[in-house]
Each structure stands twice: as C-alpha cells, then as structure tokens.
Copies of this chain bind each other. A is one copy, B any other.
Amino acid sequence: MDKSCASAAEAVACIPDGATVMIGGFGGSGGPIELIHALIDKGAKNLTVINNNAGNGDVGLAAMIREDMVSKLICSFPKSKDPRAFTERYLDGKIELELVPQGTLAERIRAGGAGIPAFYTPTSYGTDLAKGKPVGEFDGRSYVQERWLKADFALVKGELGDPMGNMTYRLAARNFNPLMCMAARHTIAQVTKLVPAGGIDPEQVITPGIFVNSIVEIANPQQEEVLNREGAVYP
C-alpha cells in the first residue's frame, strides 16, 4: 500500500470547484502551507473552507481568500494580526461566515469523522450562536443540539508519515489536523519526513492511516507565523 504522492501539486489536483475543504492548523501553527499554495496555483472557485481562523497576512488561507477562491468560511475566530483579505470580503458581503465556538467546531468535526450525526453541548446555550438550533434538557440542564461537519477534502500537516498514511504531529501543530483527517472523504497530508511502513512505532501513531488518502513529503515546510513575520506574499 502506497498513498504517497510525488508533489503537492499532484496531491491537490483532484480538488474541484465548489468543494468543501477542511484545512488544519490553528493560527500560524500546523497549517499545510505548501498544500494550500499548490491549491492556489491550481485554482479552484466557490470553495467552502473549514478552519479555526480566516487566515493572516498574505499567505496560506488568507491568500486563498484574497484570490477569491472561498465563498464560505466555517470558523471560530476570523480575526488575526492582519485579517484584511477576509474582513474586506466579509464587510462587502462577498464571503459567507458560519461562526462556531471553537470547542463545538472541534466536536462537530470529530462527530463527522465518527459517524455521530448530532450531539448536545452546553456551549452557546442562551447565546446568539444557538439561535435556531434545537435545545434539549438532560438532568435538569439545557443543551444545544449540534450537527456533524464533514468535508469533501482535508488538507493537513504532519511531522512523520508513512506510505500507509500513519502520521505524527509536531508540538502544538497537532491541533485540528487529526480531527480533519477523520472527517473528510479524501484527506491529503503533507509531512516533513516520509518514512517506510514500520518506521513509526505503532503506539506513537496519532493519525492511523485509514484516515488518510494521500501523503506527500515536504521536507522543509514553511510556517505561517514565520512567513508573516517576514512579510511574505503568495503567489
């Protein structure tokens, strides 16, 4: 079994216009920058993107938004040091926003991956973000019913990977990546080092390969925070 891909370009070639795409990362950490930039190179329109944020500066997700590839964003915190790309389009009504509390976003993605169509959470009960959602009472406390989130594709970033799709993550770059691997029909991973099957201790695998469809080695990955501090612009 070999899920490895020769290049980021090859890995993202299958993403069509109109797709729903989960993108891993939290702020500047754990985002699959090379996969995102490959998708910008390829071009795709009218995407629904699921990410914790809305990009920062002029690279990665912010660059996708600036290139008008994204028609809807599902996220918890569309603010950053330099959120221009999103803010302008949002205030102009050119991009739709579904705002989800961060823990609910994580749990909805996990639910999508785990075959749980709906669950109840105390989060957002009694707030504007619960408007229109069913409410349930359990043991005398009120909860909001939330639905699963699934995607056509996930773009994620790991540290070690093997050809079967098993992966580990570096430090806090883990964040949403393992969850998104579970919740997409087709998960595309970039890893810093591709090792042979057996090269990752089975006890240390964080994402089992069953959740990954293609994997590409990007040996010296770019880091969004570092790029932004350098004032990088893509393309």
Contact = CB atoms under 8 A, between A and B. Distances in A.
Nearest to A169: B203
A138 B118 contact: yes
Contacts of A204: 203-204
A120 interface: yes
Contacts of A138: 117-118, 147
Interface stretch (A31-39, A107-115, A180-188): A107-115
Given A107-B114, A114-B107, A203 B168 contact: yes
A232 interface: no
Interface in A35-65: none
A118 B119 contact: yes
Contact of A120 (B117, B143, B169): B117
Nearest to A206: B203
B121 A111 contact: no
A201 to B, nearest CB: 9
A141 interface: yes
A119 to B, nearest CB: 4
A171 interface: yes
A143 to B, nearest CB: 6
A116 interface: yes
Nearest to A170: B203
Contacts of A174: 203
8 contacts: A115-B121, A116-B121, A117-B136, A117-B139, A117-B143, A118-B138, A119-B120, A174-B203
Interface of A: 107, 111, 114-122, 136, 138-139, 141, 143, 147, 168-171, 174, 202-204
Given A117-B143, A204-B204, 17 more contacts: A107-B114, A111-B119, A115-B121, A115-B122, A116-B119, A116-B120, A116-B121, A117-B120, A117-B139, A118-B119, A118-B136, A138-B147, A168-B203, A171-B202, A171-B203, A174-B203, A203-B204
